[in-house]
Amino acid sequence: MEKSYSHKEIEKNWYKIWVENDLFKADNKSKTTPFSMVLPPPNITGSLHMGHALTFTIPDIINRRKMMQDFNTLWLPGVDHAGIATQMVVEKHLKKEKGLAKEDLGREKFIQFVWDWKKKSEKQIIKQIDKLGLSLDWTRMKFTLDDDMKKTVIRVFVQLYKEGKIYQGTYMVNRCPSCKTVLSDLEVDHREIHGKLTYIKYPLKGKKDDFVVVATTRPETMLGDTAVAVNPEDERYKNIIGQELILPLTNRVIKIIADKRVDKEFGTGAVKITPAHDPNDYDIALKHNLKSVRVIDHNARMTGPIKKKFIGLDRFECREKIINDLKKLGLIEKEEDYVHNVGHCHRCETMVEPDISKQWFLKTSEIAKPAIEVVEKNNVVFIPNKWEKVFFNWMYNIKDWCISRQLWWGHRIPAYYCLECGQIMVEEERPPKCSNCNSTEISQDVDVLDTWFSSALWPFSTLGWNVNSGDFKTYYPTSIMATGFDIIFFWVARMIMMGVHFTGEVPFREVLINGLIRDEKGQKMSKTKNNAVDPLDVIDKFGSDALRFTLAIQAVPGMDISFSMNRIKGYKAFANKIWNASRYVIMNLKGDENFNVDFKKISDTDKWILNFLNNITEKVNDLMDNYRINEAADQIYHFFWHEYCDWYLEFAKNDIDNIDTRKVLKFTLFRLLQLLHPFMPFITEEIYQKIKINEDFLIQTKFPSFNSEMFFIDEYKDIELLKKIIMETRKTRTENRIDPNKKIDIYLKSESEKEREIVSNLLRYFNFLTKSISTEIKNDFSNLPKGFRGVCLNWEILLPFSNNSDRVKELKRLKKEVDKAENQIKKLGEKLSNKEFVTKAPELIVIDFKKNLQVLIDKREKIQKTISDLS
């Protein structure tokens, strides 16, 4: 084995070998219990970030263990076409490369261009994912725009249309002027803006010097005003309701109307009504039968029946001009600083523009109900549970979903229009002629579907629901969906709705929600803040195993993770420790060791480690079954380093010539590699190859579980006692500055004959670990040389002085010790003299306290006796 651990060397080749050996390939005809997941498909535009690393590593740990437990596993990978994101990126790319806009190419050529680009980009992200070593079945990889995915999307759309759940309608929706498409409510982020509230005077018709003052954050929309509204209860305006105003900068006459939705406290209490460009105004206008005047176009430029000089101006440019013009006319009363919430595009952060247009919608009320029910009945379980509330809250208030997008890259909407009679036909295949007038002049809707529409079908579309495939029959419903809380609405809720509606079954039984990765200071990682840590850099520096372990041990379900370089450094050191411990074991093997350990022949220390390992194995299984991956990782970490390495390997150095101990060494290492494998697949595989007996790869071995043959409680307790005496001896040595390399004589004392016998049988370990030349076990310390004392349980330790100044030092220290013991005795005594505690607490607890008290009292006495001996 190489002398030093090199993550780069180890992590270089294994993934390829695993994949080539079909280790992750599912077999839908297997008879064992299915366990399946689908990967949240990353965007083809994307590159791997820490969020991915976390959301992918956790299910990989789960999946690898399930594989080792002989489940019939499938973990299906895929990538997402990510409509808006991809189109934007490729458009930029096209501009840069060829100086062309997508319109220059035309729709078909542009889409071809995107496909070419997709092939490269997809390879890139898959290459990055490979570095994490995920146990994905690449033979089943899907892309959201694959032909079979397309077929499913179309079938679903048509069915929903025929059920009346998809409809076309003209409503006010959010439009992003930069992405040039409408958005769903979810794709709009509300952000606080420090803006201005402008008070504009609208003159009353026929009364030049009489005004109604309205306050607005968007003066440019005044050109589209068709009324001014006041609250009917507002005394200030009661007498002018119904009167007419002259809209400045236009010659239009508008009315003053009353509506109780107007907030008397806002501004002057009188508000301008712009039905075409504000959702509230739109509602009010509907009720009052107001005209709608459109003055802003799809690109957020001014348009409509307005003065020529405004036409074509950007909305913000126009705002300045309007304010200037009004100032000149003396129609601006004042401007105030004002903080308000404004919608921004989720994708590009541009301020969205409310806009009336004809779009496709999915009616959600009916399909939401069964989706709520399956969660209520725990057919779908959120982990941690608190996210259910978030889910319910959104589902109870769900609004119809605007699913059409003015993009080219995506699933084309299967709606066809007759150019002759205007008939709308929604069909899976393009109809050859109009169903109404038989015309053959037919064109397809130019819009595509919201990317999340196809995502919502992902768990069943990828498994082949459309053709009722073997995979679908075996692996659906899937077992777990692991994802981030930020897409519970976007994705999880919609998958549940669609899954239940179309398959009659839940898409997954459990939803594992993980937290956000933050930087060391707890700040959100983002490109703009420049605090994002690239997982590939981390893997390069510390290794995939170290990164995976770091994420796992910190992944408290549902909690954010502060990513700290210092921490990963620590787990890289752990990998190094694993490497070296294994190296030691392997170096000492003689080749005649197998895993058939004869439990009758092995030593007490062997039994101790087997018993301990057995306990840890049980705990790890239990924790992992409950998704407490972080605690499982912690258990293994501690056991490997601080029990197996610190103690067992040291114990075993004394018995290395014994074949039975060597067998245990090899066997325990094997078990530990198995436990660790889901967390650190690379290093464990590398080492396994050097000690393997049967299975070719570690993942093919059976994950350990509790074994009643490895239950050695007496030996376990004996060795724990020995450890404590050794620790106390070491402490006494260092505290008294006895040269650590000096071999010395040691005396031990206990009044218990049984314990004396136990320890005397283990003396070779004691001598080795405390650097003792010879150790004598006594039941009495009189007639021995004076020395430093240590007390541990009912044992005493004596290390002879080398000179008189040692004696003085020791006396001083012992007095301190007495004080310490005194304090603890007082504390416990108080507790035990409390009648309520003694009568009400469980007996075992009370006995425990009493035992501890006795131990302390003994300790105090012993020290006091020593003091009088030394004085």
Partner RNA sequence: GGGCGGUUAGCUCAGCUGGUAGAGCAUCGGUUUUACACGCCGGUGGCCAGAGGUUCAAGUCCUCUACCGCCCA
Q: Which of 454, 509, 215, 443 is nearest to 338 (CA)?
A: 215
Cβ(645)–Cβ(577) under 8 Å?
Answer: yes
The one segment of 72-80, 401-409, 598-606, 724-732 that binds RNA by CB under 7 A: 724-732
- Rounded CA-CA distance 560/554 in Å is 9
Cβ(636)–Cβ(676) under 8 Å?
Answer: yes
Write out the binding residues for RNA, residues 325-344 only, by CB under 7 A: 341
Which three-class secondary structure state does DSSP give residue 82? Answer: coil
* Sole binder of RNA in the list 123, 369, 731, 826 (CB under 7 A): 731
- Rounded CA-CA distance 634/642 in Å is 12
Write out the binding residues for RNA, residues 475-504 only, by CB under 7 A: 489
* Sole binder of RNA in the list 360, 408, 637, 801 (CB under 7 A): 637
* Sole binder of RNA in the list 178, 423, 469, 564 (CB under 7 A): 564
The one segment of 247-255, 364-372, 408-416, 847-855 that binds RNA by CB under 7 A: 847-855
* Sole binder of RNA in the list 122, 146, 148, 185 (CB under 7 A): 185
Query: What DSSP designation does 489 have?
Result: I
If the CB atoms of residues 185 and 660 are measured against RNA, the closer one turns out to be 185
* Sole binder of RNA in the list 525, 556, 589, 818 (CB under 7 A): 556
Distance in Å, CB of 648 to RNA, minimum: 9
Q: What is the dihedral of CA 305, 307, 309, 313, to 10 degrees?
A: -40
If the CB atoms of residues 537 and 836 are measured against RNA, the closer one turns out to be 836
Cβ(424)–Cβ(417) under 8 Å?
Answer: yes
Q: Which of 556, 539, 555 is nearest to 547 (CA)?
A: 539
Name, in order, each residue with C-beta under 8 angstroms of 855's C-beta and a sequence gap of 6 or more: 793, 794
User: How far are the Cα atoms of 47, 87, 357, 613 from residue 121, in angstroms, in the given order?
Assistant: 9, 13, 34, 46
The one segment of 402-410, 461-469, 555-563, 697-705 that binds RNA by CB under 7 A: 555-563
Write out the binding residues for RNA, residues 128-167 only, by CB under 7 A: none
* Sole binder of RNA in the list 143, 641, 711, 768 (CB under 7 A): 641
The one segment of 155-163, 411-419, 664-672, 826-834 that binds RNA by CB under 7 A: 826-834
Name, in order, each residue with C-beta under 8 angstroms of 205's C-beta and a sequence gap of 6 or more: 243, 244, 245, 246, 253
> Quick check: 813 binds RNA (CB under 7 A)?
no
Distance in Å, CB of 385 to RNA, minimum: 9
Size of the site for RNA (CB under 7 A): 71
> Quick check: 631 binds RNA (CB under 7 A)?
yes
Distance in Å, CB of 67 to RNA, minimum: 26
The one segment of 59-67, 208-216, 273-281, 723-731 that binds RNA by CB under 7 A: 723-731
> Quick check: 701 binds RNA (CB under 7 A)?
no
Distance in Å, CB of 91 to RNA, minimum: 27
If the CB atoms of residues 196 and 567 are measured against RNA, the closer one turns out to be 567
Name, in order, each residue with C-beta under 8 angstroms of 179's C-beta and a sequence gap of 6 or more: 84, 88, 345, 347, 348, 350, 407
> Quick check: 816 binds RNA (CB under 7 A)?
no
If the CB atoms of residues 338 and 641 are measured against RNA, the closer one turns out to be 641
Query: What DSSP designation does 310 have?
Result: G
* Sole binder of RNA in the list 567, 692, 786, 813 (CB under 7 A): 567
List, in sequence order, every residue forming a beta bridge with 381; answer none if it has no partner.
510
Q: How many helices (H) and strands (E) does the chain have?
A: 29, 29
Distance in Å, CB of 789 to RNA, minimum: 15
Distance in Å, CB of 554 to RNA, minimum: 5
If the CB atoms of residues 8 and 430 are measured against RNA, the closer one turns out to be 8
> Quick check: 381 binds RNA (CB under 7 A)?
no
> Quick check: 389 binds RNA (CB under 7 A)?
yes
If the CB atoms of residues 3 and 308 are measured against RNA, the closer one turns out to be 3
Query: What DSSP designation does 342 have?
Result: E
Interface pattern 647-676 for RNA (x via CB under 7 A): --xx--x-----------------------
Distance in Å, CB of 578 to RNA, minimum: 9
User: How far are the Cα atoms of 589, 608, 658, 663 from residue 599, in angstroms, in the given order?
Assistant: 19, 12, 14, 11
User: How far are the Cα atoms of 376, 581, 608, 724, 733 from residue 720, in angstroms, in the given order?
Assistant: 48, 22, 8, 6, 20
- Rounded CA-CA distance 194/338 in Å is 6
Write out the binding residues for RNA, residues 99-128 only, by CB under 7 A: none
If the CB atoms of residues 346 and 862 are measured against RNA, the closer one turns out to be 346
The length of the chain, given as a count of residues: 871
Q: Which of 663, 667, 670 is nearest to 698 (CA)?
A: 670
Distance in Å, CB of 112 to RNA, minimum: 36
DSSP characters over 630-664: HHHHHHHHHIIIIIIIIIIIHHHTTSTT-HHHHHH
Angle, CA 571 vertex, CA 570 and CA 577 arms, to 5°: 95
HSE of 175, CA atoms in CB hemisphere, 13 A = 24
Write out the binding residues for RNA, residues 5-64 only, by CB under 7 A: 5
List, in sequence order, every residue forming a beta bridge with 516; answer none if it has no partner.
none
If the CB atoms of residues 112 and 526 are measured against RNA, the closer one turns out to be 526
If the CB atoms of residues 26 and 669 are measured against RNA, the closer one turns out to be 669
Which three-class secondary structure state does DSSP give residue 795? Answer: strand
If the CB atoms of residues 463 and 672 are measured against RNA, the closer one turns out to be 672
Interface pattern 505-544 for RNA (x via CB under 7 A): -------------x-xxx-x--------------------
> Quick check: 690 binds RNA (CB under 7 A)?
no
Write out the binding residues for RNA, residues 186-215 only, by CB under 7 A: 186, 189-190
Write out the binding residues for RNA, residues 571-630 only, by CB under 7 A: 571-573, 575-577, 580-581, 583-584, 587, 630
Which residue type occupies 585? Answer: V
> Quick check: 836 binds RNA (CB under 7 A)?
yes
Return the structure tokens found at 446: 């130019």
Angle, CA 707 vertex, CA 701 and CA 708 arms, to 5°: 160
Distance in Å, CB of 849 to RNA, minimum: 7
The one segment of 44-52, 374-382, 632-640, 694-702 that binds RNA by CB under 7 A: 632-640
Distance in Å, CB of 327 to RNA, minimum: 33
Distance in Å, CB of 623 to RNA, minimum: 8
Distance in Å, CB of 556 to RNA, minimum: 4
Q: What is the dihedral of CA 187, 191, 195, 198, to 10 degrees?
A: 60
Distance in Å, CB of 183 to RNA, minimum: 13
Cβ(387)–Cβ(514) under 8 Å?
Answer: no
Which three-class secondary structure state does DSSP give residue 189? Answer: strand
* Sole binder of RNA in the list 86, 554, 701, 750 (CB under 7 A): 554
Name, in order, each residue with C-beta under 8 angstroms of 46's C-beta and a sequence gap of 6 or more: 52, 82, 85, 125
List, in sequence order, every residue forming a beta bridge with 383; answer none if it has no partner.
512
The one segment of 277-285, 404-412, 565-573, 672-680 that binds RNA by CB under 7 A: 565-573
Write out the binding residues for RNA, residues 340-379 only, by CB under 7 A: 341
Query: What DSSP designation does 204 have?
Result: E
The one segment of 149-157, 185-193, 253-261, 279-287 that binds RNA by CB under 7 A: 185-193
* Sole binder of RNA in the list 151, 205, 255, 730 (CB under 7 A): 730
